[in-house]
Structure 1
């Protein structure tokens, strides 16, 4: 069975990516050569809708499943991720598929010399696009190679998650891209990626703003999310709310904030009904934590007693059956026993 090759990471997974992935993309590790491991984070949905300005009617010329000659072993038995398109007037359609196509071939670096990949891409373009679109695509490919080489020379400053630093890095990368691509090309190849990463940086800035209360941060995060294009909002909505809730909840708890402050933040971010459900979940979690801690305390008293080992075990088993109402809870309790016996801080595990 053929494996589906996905070069571009989807937005939903990306967000699971968050700051570390952003930094790794912004700052390639290899400063001197193109590398398959330097493939940057890409987004798809909005940019894929961008077509040529010359003709709004796009006609697909090449198929993403047709074969390309001389692929490296790592790309054998994969679907060709190279859906180049031309308009009815024979002009190249500008969208993120072009970048995906280029990066698909570039993953062969390490197995093929760059000169061989260059010829391979040019041959594929000439065979799958009409002459005018092929000329445009070949020119874009040559500039893309120069851009990727220049991108690889950007200095890697490490995992610095400071929003101001990330903003400078993003601005530097955008300026670099502007040297090689016109505005239409820049938007088609990198538009959604830039939009998403700018949102990520703005989100970090809001979370780091010590002048704002948690509720104010929640309000600004919600407003910033609403500024995203609709397709990105659809892809990111659930995960973005979850991340913001976790981050702001952690901030409130670290400073021993009140329950009222926590409730106000949640209502700003997810609404009253959802905030009430989260409060009920907190109560349920707190009840479980108290039961586990009480059980472990009583178990420790049994272990410290002068009873015979067999009697201790029977007493612990009876305690566990009294303390927990079903087998699933008892199994979880046994897991906590093991962690506690190994010296793990159970309070941290129960958070």
Structure 2
């Protein structure tokens, strides 16, 4: 049997072993505490504090980003100001207060209607050529469409607008030496080239009338006995709506020609009114009389302006800068915004009235 001293020695060794085991368990548990849980990423390593040079570089990057954004913001502000100026000019244009002609329509799938109503809307804008550039008219059309129809629809509209302008330019470039029939054939080919299958829907009515006009011209070579009968039969074959439109167009042309004859003969207002009433009726005669008065007033204003302008051009004591300033002031004083564009066009074309 072990002595008391031996037992004490064995107990001391056992306690030492237990202490070592407890220390190892504590170390393992400590290590497990810092391990990431399943499915959780380990914590990122601690980054060193950025140096002064690094902080300067970061600040420069931010400043560069802000500086790069500044031109875009400035461009946006400029674009907004330009559009505001365009709207201001539009409100003072010859179309101010007018209801837009034609219509921009889309089907159930959001596809643009390529039809006569669309062309009428395009032509509504194009009546302002001389007051606005084509680019400016395109901006106004696009901005109005964005407000009403949105981005996707507007993209279709502007594509059709650009194609229509291209067709107009190509049509104007057709050789003038061609016969009318050859020009008509080439025009149909251009329409198909620019608009494909939609050309019939867009230009079908116009093409039919052009063909009708060519037929009428061909009948002019017949003997008078047969010609009148053939022309009557040709006109009767046209749809009623087209016959009415043709009558109205012919009446407007005849009224204009009648006015030129009245001017050439120097007829007074009472005689004009009586002649017009006999041909067109009292209501139309009154409208034409009002138009006469407006034209006469415009002509007097043009003549007064032309006389004052000539006097400034012949003023020998004015410097070139003084003369330019005086001419600009005369134009500003004599006409409003839209009228100035008309007068400037007349000046360029040399069509101002001769003074005196």
For Structure 1 versus Structure 2, the TM-score category normalised by the shorter chain is 0.3 to 0.5
Which protein has the larger Cα radius of gyration, Structure 1 or Structure 2? Answer: 2
Specify which structure has the higher proportion of helix: 2
TM-score, length of structure 1 as denominator length: 0.41
